[in-house]
Amino acid sequence: MDLFPLYLTIKVSFIATIFTAISGFVLAWVMAKKEFFGKNFLDVLVMQPLVIPPTVLGYYLLSVFGKSSPLGAFLENNLGIEIVFTWKGAVMASIISSLPLFVKPARAALEGVGADLENAARLLGKTEFQIIRSITLPLAWRGLAAGAVMAFARATGEFGATLMIAGNIPGVTQTLPIAIYDAVQSGDDYTANILVGIITLFSFAVLYFAGRFARGRF
Amino acid sequence: MLNFRLKKRIEDFALDVELSVNEELMVLFGPSGAGKTQILRMLSGIIKPDEGNIAIGAEPLFDSKANINVPIRQRQIGYVFQDYALFPHMTVFENIAYGINLKEPLLTQKVNELLGVMRLNGLEQRYPHELSGGQKQRTALARTLAAEPRLLLLDEPFSALDYQVREKLRADLLNIHRMFPITTILVTHDLEEAFMLGKRIAVINNGRIEQVGTREDVFYRPRTRNVARFIGVRNIFAGTVAGVDTEQVIINNPDIGTVKAFIPQGAALNIGQEVSFCIRPEEIIVIRPDKVLDNKKQDNILEGEIDSSIGKGSTHIMFLRVGEGDTLLKIELPNFVLRKLGLANGKRIRVSLKKENIWVIP
């Protein structure tokens, strides 16, 4: 049995989670700690992937990163990065669709770190960066970790948008969910059952551990 | 020396205060919602005033005209929050060490010193959730003093503690202020605390300072009816000036009758003017029933019926109905006086309001 889809899914999800966590942390921090014009709009925008059909999301990604778009042309001609129909496209699809699942718990966790704790640190002469490192992160890390686990899980299950932007090229961009679809379509029940089993077990494990993380000590 | 003038509008609440504080312990006293905490938050830089200026000595921290707004972390101001805001993931030691910029072994030495001063020895490895209220409060104070602030702000530091702990910690605070004589502003709505801790007191009401002065000034010579009310003067009456000479005034009140009092320094009173006058419940003297009075010597004698009384620890509060209306005079008497005179509800007694104990508010 070909285990490439499993390998690709883990690789894509892992890389996507790193990007999601970094950009999601910045977004969540800004939304939890700052008041600014357009905050509600930004919130709606970040949460869109939860409600928008994945194929529509994939279509947007295609139009933004396609070779005919300015960004896509720039990436390919100047940096040699091809997004469409490569595993990088799958990463991109996973980042966007998992972002809301990270940002929501991360924002709640960051908001849970009381403003006066951070003010106390400011009054003791600390910079914003020192405060994030010594106060905010240690107190919010459970929520952030739970968000990262959810994001990883969402990335492993990503189907619609990935199919649109990365395609279904066996051995190149065929991730686990797409391989399952393929197996079912071609009547290969044996492969489909194994892959479905793997994903199911994994999803249960993720929710179980995410729940344990989220229960804080403080 | 701290000088500030602050203006801030928050929805329909408007704050506008101006104050100078020396190297002393100044108490901001006033009811909840008067704007006391807002003042501390503006001084520390947590919230920005709409208008005004803040300066420590010659150094401006905020000036809306010159567009100066020094960031919080550069202000060197110590702030003890009402709920202490201890870092829950750090031990007592780590909390205190957090704001100290020293290398080992000086760091440990300094923390140990503060642990000693604050009576926290042996608790350094505990986490905040393992401390009692008083220990938390002392840890917060130690953490703040560790950073050697130029100005110390205390927001209702004793409100979360029970009575006995509060008594002890108030005394501690006075000692600590003697050891670290920095400009300190303490916010409280507790009258007893204001009286015990503040050499100077600023009475805040509805976003304004009603009176600033020494504790004696504020407690015995309230300048407005509000101040009189906040400092626990319960007998505040309105009246009309019926006569004045160089130092005394005669005031008429329909229920109480005619009262003679001294004119407060600097006040100009005219006949027909509406004024308020007040007397503290504990300064009303009950006259023994059998005593024969010399009317020429005794002013301000009132007669009334005891309407009700409430025991209050070692004293009793009695309400005396005087005149025809609803006027009740509140009198506080030690329990033994009450027993000796056989005072009970419904009994008619005479009381004397000594001229020197009546305070007139123009």
Closest Cα of chain A to B2: distance in Å? 17
* Contact state of A120 with B74 under an 8 Å Cβ cutoff: no
Encoded tokens for B24: 């002393």
Q: Which tens digits make up the pLDDT trace of B176-205?
A: 888 888 999 999 998 888 988 988 999 999
In A42-101, the residues whose Cβ lies within 8 Å of chain B are none
pLDDT band at B346 (very low <50, low <70, confident <90, very high): confident
**Superfamily of domain B233-361 in the CATH hierarchy:** Nucleic acid-binding proteins (2.40.50.140)
Domain ranges for chain B, please list them.
Answer: 2-228, 233-361
Q: What's the CATH number of domain B2-228, 3.30.70.600, 1.25.40.10, 3.40.50.300, 3.40.1050.10?
A: 3.40.50.300
Domains and CATH numbers, chain A: 4-214 (1.10.3720.10)
**Residue-level pLDDT at A72:** 83
Regions of chain A with pLDDT less than 70: 1, 213-218
In chain B, residues with a C-beta closer than 8 Å to the C-beta of A117 are 85, 87
* Contact state of B44 with A123 under an 8 Å Cβ cutoff: yes
* Contact state of B73 with A127 under an 8 Å Cβ cutoff: yes
In chain A, residues with a C-beta closer than 8 Å to the C-beta of B71 are 122
**Residue-level pLDDT at A217:** 46
Q: Which tens digits make up the pLDDT trace of B111-128?
A: 999 999 888 999 999 999
Q: Which tens digits make up the pLDDT trace of B59-112?
A: 999 999 999 999 999 999 999 999 999 999 999 999 999 999 888 889 999 999
* Contact state of A123 with B75 under an 8 Å Cβ cutoff: yes
Query: Can you tell me which residue has the tokens 């608790």?
Result: B123
Q: Which tens digits make up the pLDDT trace of A135-152?
A: 999 999 988 988 998 899
Q: Residue B232: left if φ>0, alpha if ψ -120 to 50, beta else—which one? A: left
SS3 content of chain A, % helix, strand, coil (to 5): 80, 0, 20
Nearby residues of A199 by Cβ (< 8 Å), 6 or more positions away: A156, A157, A176, A177, A180
Minimal CA–CA distance to B344: which of B323, B322, B316? B316
* Contact state of A116 with B85 under an 8 Å Cβ cutoff: yes
Nearest to A138 among B78, B89, B99 (CB): B89
A135 touches chain B (CB under 8 A): yes
Minimal CA–CA distance to B141: which of B164, B162, B170? B170
* Contact state of B81 with A125 under an 8 Å Cβ cutoff: no
**Residue-level pLDDT at A218:** 42
Q: Which tens digits make up the pLDDT trace of B225-241?
A: 888 888 878 888 888 99
In chain B, residues with a C-beta closer than 8 Å to the C-beta of A116 are 81, 83, 85
* Contact state of B88 with A139 under an 8 Å Cβ cutoff: yes
A216 touches chain B (CB under 8 A): no
Give me the total of CB pairs closer than 8 Å, taking one residue from chain A and one from chain B: 55
Encoded tokens for B31: 């009811």
- Residue B131: pLDDT over 50: yes
Q: What is the DSSP string of B331-350?
A: EEEEHHHHHHTT--TT-EEE
Minimal CA–CA distance to B8: which of B29, B30, B36? B36
Q: Which tens digits make up the pLDDT trace of B206-262?
A: 999 999 999 888 888 888 888 888 887 888 888 899 888 888 888 988 888 888 888
**Residue-level pLDDT at B125:** 93
* Contact state of B98 with A127 under an 8 Å Cβ cutoff: no
Encoded tokens for B155: 């927001």
| Phi, psi torsion values for B151, nearest 5 degrees | -145, 135
Nearest to B99 among A125, A127, A139 (CB): A125
* Contact state of B73 with A123 under an 8 Å Cβ cutoff: yes
For chain B, the residues whose C-beta falls within 8 A of a C-beta of chain A are: 44-46, 71-79, 81, 83, 85, 87-89, 98-99, 101, 129, 143-144, 147
- Selected for mutation to probe chain A from B41, B44, B73, B94 (highest A CB count within 10 Å) is B73
* Contact state of A123 with B78 under an 8 Å Cβ cutoff: yes
Beta bridge partners of B250: B243, B260
